[in-house]
Structure 1
Amino acid sequence: MTAACGMQMIASLTPFPEILIVGRIITAVFSPLSDAALILYLQEISPSNLRGTMSSLFSTGYAVMCLFGVFLGHEDVLGHSLTVLLFVPVIPGVISTLILVFLPETPKFLMISRHNMKAALASLRFYQGDREELQDELDKLQVESKGGEVEESQGGVKMIMSTRHLRRALTISVAVLVLTLPFYPILQNSTYFFTHLNVPNHVAQLSSSLLMVLLTFACITSTCIVDKLPRRWMLLTAGSSCMLSLLAFVVAAEFGFQLLAVASVFVFVFSYGVGIGPVAWFISPELVPLQYRSAMFCTCYGIHSMLVVLTNFATVPLLGQPYLALTVNCEQVTSST
């Protein structure tokens, strides 16, 4: 990812767009992999009582980076220089890569895949501190490692598809992830949606920026409460709020109520940030035994990625406008996207 960002920065200094294309392809390949690895990493290094809080940090970090990107992309900040803007991700990328070199593997990987009890205990001590419960955690990993041998011989995905209770967990996990699909078109095209409602351009840009601020606040709130509330209750409450706000947006947009339509989008983003975004990503690993978590999450992530692509490409044409109009509007409001 860091190398791909560097390639894109170099491409902006040369007359060769092929370098930019290659950099974008590398980013597209490794970005989902890094997201999946991060979520699983947070799951596997966390104590059981903090697993939800740690896992929700993924969505919080995502929201913060979106807000940071909107700020840096403003023309008065770095939006005037594509080269500098593309170079910014290289700095944290290099720093984080160097830090990761010195971090130990997760306890689960060391116990189940490497069968190294001593290294697994050292990893637990590194990530969770020296406490009395470490031996109990290690014993649980040791029990799960016996099932891991079966998974390796039969294949994790194959077992998920052929085992009834694992298929049920997959269905539930995908159903939860479906609730996240409306967020991505709003994230990428919010300014276009607002201008489509005849909202003034400067108000649309400001509203899109405020959406990112609200999303960050909502995700931070979720991180503070996610381990104190039932997952099911959070999903049902936030999911219902998201669907009702989307319905209100459609009705308001159809009848020309601009303020109500814009307010509905803000309600959706807040509901998503508090209950859907942080929770949806770690539901699938929590529904299955430890040895199937990686396979289950990656399967769900793959299905979700395909659905995101389909819904993103379908959203703008479904508004009744030619897709080319999006390109024209995006050129006018680059800082908001």
Structure 2
Amino acid sequence: MIGSFSAGPVANYFGRKRGLMLNNILALIGAVLMGFSNKANSYEMLIIGRFVIGINCGINTGIVPMYLSEIAPFNLRGGIGVLNQLGVTFGILLSQVLGLTEILGTQTLWGILLGLTAVPAIYQLITLPFCPESPRYLLINIDEPKEAEKALKLLRNTVNVSADISEMQVEYEEEQKEEKISVLQLLKMRSLRLPLIISVVMQLSQQLSGITGVLYYSTSIFEDAGIEPEKSAYATLSTGSVMVIMTIVTIPLMDRVGRRTLHLWGLALMILWASILTVSLATKDSWEGSAYLSIICVIAFVVGFALGPGSIPWLIVAELFSQGPRGAAISVAFFINWSANFLVGLTFPLLQKSLDAYVFVIFIILLVLFWLFTYKFLPETRNKSFEEISAIFRRNVNKPDSEYVSIPSKQAATQDNKL
């Protein structure tokens, strides 16, 4: 929560690339503290290490989607943005595998497991220097047009980047008409209120969907459904595997089907399978097959999550805002995301204990509300430039909510024809 709220200021002050590089210092500090806490017999080191690595994760989840959306051509921005979620889901699966009792999930080896956090941090420190800085940051934030053009040529692998420069120049000119926007100013601006509300609700649709409870407590869910304890951990691996596979599937779909459609389909599937899971858990004492149906429901629930709510909230915030307010918007939205994650992680065991088989009824109600909100308010951002997306809200700021819909563009039509 703290790290995500800091992501915008860090990205704007140090830059996207340098901000990510400096953030790896926190990862290394956290890895050392956690990795040696077992040998030092110090729970204080473990707690401090977890705190530091939490800040690192919050900053990463803020800057990485921003950086990817800014370096990608607009017709590939969705697919490239999903690569962020692919990294997250692969990390979850890898941690589930390494955490098995047959590997590192033991009383003597868990310190090594937590210390492995240093590996991706070292990898980033080695590889990030070879990556270009965000051209948008170079041109719009620090007014370095030559460096921006140089970065674009490297990213596009061509010397002809005039179209990208022109599009950024239009955005730059619009930004010059406004003051730099802080979080407090963002919260007060009526013209940015709707995209901010959409961004916040999208974060809540991810974390209050019930997926956090499934990922954190899937092993106990399977055990409650009747799966033997020694087998439940392996059943949990199926959720991580499906997340990775479905995230890969959504990469080409993101820029063909669109964000809005995928999010609606994902939420609908989660509503369906959470309802069936509730019935399955309620009949576990009277029907032997309910245990296996529960596994199918959890896996299908994860499929729906990976189809839309898993990746779209991360990338949609960067798309709904122009360069000026983007950092502040990401700080607010992702702070809400991690706050909701914390809330569900803290309360799900209590809800599970008090509601038993009907614990997912709460999430089903919330999912229905999120589906209705998405259907009514979320515009389609596929194949639109950042300036075109911002124009949707500027043009409609005085119009009724029902008119907040996607506005076609010549560029989008051209891209559709190409596809």
Please report the TM-score for the alignment, with normalisation by the length of structure 2.
0.72
Q: Which residue of 1 aligns with 2:400?
A: none
Q: d(CA) in 2 for partners of 1:167 and 1:43? A: 22
Task: Give 5+ residue unaligned stretches, structure 2.
Answer: 1-26, 285-289, 356-419
Residue 32 of structure 1 is matched in structure 2 by 58
Structure 1 position 258 matched with structure 2 position 285: no
> Are 1:190 and 1:208, in contact at CA under 8 Å, matched by a contact in 2?
yes
Superposed, 1:108-187 pairs within 5 Å as 108-132=136-160, 134-149=161-176, 153=179, 155-181=181-207, 182-187=210-215
Judged with a 3 Å threshold, the aligned counterparts in structure 2 of structure 1 residues 33 and 11 are, in CA distance, closer, same or farther, namely same
Are 1:79 and 1:85, in contact at CA under 8 Å, matched by a contact in 2? Answer: yes
In structure 2, the residue corresponding to 1:179 is in which secondary structure? Answer: helix
Structure 2 partner of 1:330: none
CA distance in 1, matches of 2:104, 2:345: 27
Q: 1:100 to 1:244 in 2, by over 3 A?
A: same
Q: In structure 1, which of residues 250, 271, 279 is the aligned counterpart of residue 312 of structure 2?
A: 279
2:409 corresponds to which residue? none
| Cα distance between partner residues in 2 of 1:65 and 1:149 | 40
Q: Within 1, Cα distance between the matches of 2:268 and 2:60? A: 30
Match of 2:70 among 30, 35, 44: 44
Give me the whole-angstrom Cα distance separating, in 2, the residues matched to 1:105 and 1:116: 11
Aligned length in residues: 320
Q: Tell me if the contact between 2:181 and 2:325 (Cα under 8 Å) persists in the aligned partners.
A: no
> What is the deviation of 1:200?
1.5
Q: Which has more helix, going by share of residues?
A: 1
What's the CA shift string for 1:137-185, capped at 9, x where partnerless?
A: 112222322343455x452434432333421111122222222122111
Quick one: which of 189, 198, 212 aligns to 2:226?
198
Query: 1:306: which partner in 2?
Result: 339
Name the residue aligned to 1:236.
264
- Aligned partner letter, 1:144: E
Matching residue of 2:240: 212
**Aligned partner of 1:296 among 305, 318, 329:** 329
Following superposition, the deviation at residue 76 of structure 1 comes to: 2.1
Aligned-CA RMSD value: 2.0
Checking the alignment, whether the CA contact within 8 Å between 2:180 and 2:324 is kept in structure 1 is no
Give the residue type in structure 2 aligned to 1:142: Q
Amino acid in structure 2 at the alignment position of 1:309: F
Cα distance in structure 1, aligned partners of 2:74 and 2:65: 15
Q: Distance in 2 between matches of 1:114 and 1:35?
A: 23
Percent identical: 22
Q: Are positions 1:62 and 2:88 aligned together?
A: yes
State the alpha-carbon separation in 2 of the partners of residues 3 and 319 from structure 1. Answer: 35
Does 2:112 correspond to 1:79?
no
Stretches of structure 1 that go unaligned for 5 or more consecutive residues are 323-337
- 2:70 counterpart letter in structure 1: E
Cα-to-partner distance string for 1:247-277 (whole Å, 9 max, x where unaligned): 2212221232333332211111011112221
* 48-57 or 276-285: bigger deviation: 276-285
Question: Which whole-Å CA distance do the structure 2 matches of 1:6 and 1:119 have between them?
Answer: 37
Paired residue secondary structure (1:79): coil
Looking at structure 2, the residues matched to 130 and 295 of structure 1 have their Cα atoms a distance apart, in angstroms, of 32
1:198 partner letter = G
Separation of aligned partners in 2, 1:48 and 1:124:
13
Q: Residue 329 of structure 1 aligns with which residue?
A: none
Q: Deviations over 1:29-48 (max 9, x none)?
A: 12111111111111111111
Give how far 1:230 is off. Answer: 2.0
Q: 2:68 is aligned with what amino acid?
A: L
Hey, what's the Cα distance between the residues in 2 that align with 1:171 and 1:45? 25
User: CA-to-partner distance for each residue in 1:58-113, whole Å, 9 max, x for gaps?
Assistant: 11111111111111122222334123323323223112112223433211111111
Shift of 1:305: 1.4
Q: Identify if the C-alpha distance between structure 1 residues 82 and 320 changes in structure 2 by more than 3 Å, giving closer, same or farther.
A: closer
Task: Write the distance in 2 (CA, Å) between the matches of 1:128 and 1:299.
Answer: 31
Cα distance change of structure 1 residues 293 and 64 upon mapping to structure 2, 3 Å threshold: same
Q: 1:157 to 1:149 in 2, by over 3 A?
A: farther
> For residues 235 and 131 of structure 1, do their structure 2 counterparts lie closer, same or farther at Cα, with a shift above 3 Å needed?
farther
Residue 206 of structure 2 aligns to a residue whose secondary structure is coil
Shift of 1:199: 2.2
- CA separation of 1:282 and 1:205: change in aligned 2, threshold 3 A: same
